[in-house]
Structure 1
């Protein structure tokens, strides 16, 4: 099992659509500059007639965050934060070639795309509500405990690899220079989510194979 949802979340969020890629053979030597620029241009085009808050994909996640008890403008889903930065600063941050590609694709589709180092995850990820006992390693170096009932990505060792669903990943399983084995997760809640997630996964799959031609890439089910 690489990834699944708790039964209660299946029932609570029936509008959810998910796409997964299992990738082996990632290296930092790939030049993603042109691909990142192409997807970033697509993202910028979506902002020409308004802000990220006007996009149906973002509006759907804002409704989900409200249902989770989170203030949507305080805790933004990942693509909203990326698009907001693109609109205000004119570009996206550069972290790691694979992460940069995923961020650009996420912004272009306005859909959350998370990339996890599978070698840092115990027995796959379960999207579930937290008990409050899980450990979350922040990028600031602090250890946090998700609030009971908060939706997290958890593994078998009670580690939280993402908080507030699509808001923030953990530093513990973030893709780094040592990462070679990745799970990519794309999730959407808007009306055409199934179609758009499918297109995103296909586009990302093809781009990964172009940039990392020796990588093994396969689509898996949630």
Structure 2
């Protein structure tokens, strides 16, 4: 059986393959879908959220390294299980946390990306944002065959890569949208300054509880409503395959 998530009125279903469920039984996710968004360059409100998220992260870690947090340790174990080296290709939450604590802090990308990056750091949970207008069909979390196309950028130019066989990837009908679970997002579906519809995906491993995941999703939805008062925001049910 496959697990799926669908919210009334949404345009994209998510499916988790049996192979991924067997690999990481502690996995779960929640979606926040938004329409009528207004994106644009980074602003002071987003910068304030990023700074506050960094403060919350430092308080949570209390001097520990991000990889010593139990939730990040669980993600590292999942990466190891499908053959990835977690110290070389870190999950997105760990990578952002390390940047937040380093000199220079978190990058400023655009209004929407800054919001979900702040949420990721504040809750130490991987969060991705996809442009719904660029997703082709449903999204699936699978173990790759190895020939799926992944559009990325190298030296400022677009290029096509392929995942390793057995690698866990998110994909749609056109190809891979995110490699190594939540390590690197493709350029085809990422949120740009002209994006108006988005699917935000929050991913959890036990020991993060489903209630904690729900709270993180609600906080992101609240930030989106503040940033884009006219947007329609829908929170999906927590899925724990």
Place the TM-score, normalised by the shorter chain, in its bin: over 0.9
Equivalent in the alignment of 2:36: 25
Equivalent in the alignment of 1:7: 18
User: RMSD value over aligned CA atoms?
Assistant: 1.6
For 1:53 and 1:68, how far apart are their aligned partners in 2?
Answer: 18
Contact 2:145 2:165 in 1 (8 A): yes
TM-score normalised by length of structure 1: 0.93
Q: Which whole-Å deviations, capped at 9, do the CAs of 1:38-67 have from their partners, x for residues lacking one?
A: 223212323432111111111010000110
TM-score normalised by length of structure 2: 0.86
What's the offset of the Cα at 1:4? Answer: 1.7
Question: What are structure 1's unaligned runs of at least 5 residues?
Answer: none
What's the offset of the Cα at 1:166? Answer: 1.3
For 1:94 and 1:70, how far apart are their aligned partners in 2?
Answer: 28
Equivalent in the alignment of 1:116: 130
Equivalent in the alignment of 1:210: 226
Equivalent in the alignment of 1:146: 163
For 1:147 and 1:167, how far apart are their aligned partners in 2?
Answer: 13
Aligned length: 221
Equivalent in the alignment of 1:161: 177
What are the residue-to-residue correspondences of 1:1-222 with 2, within 5 Å?
1-29=12-40, 31-140=45-154, 141-157=158-174, 159-221=175-237
Question: What are structure 2's unaligned runs of at least 5 residues?
Answer: 1-11
Q: Report the 3-state secondary structure (helix = DSSP H, G, I; strand = E; otherwise coil) of the residue aligned with 2:169.
A: strand
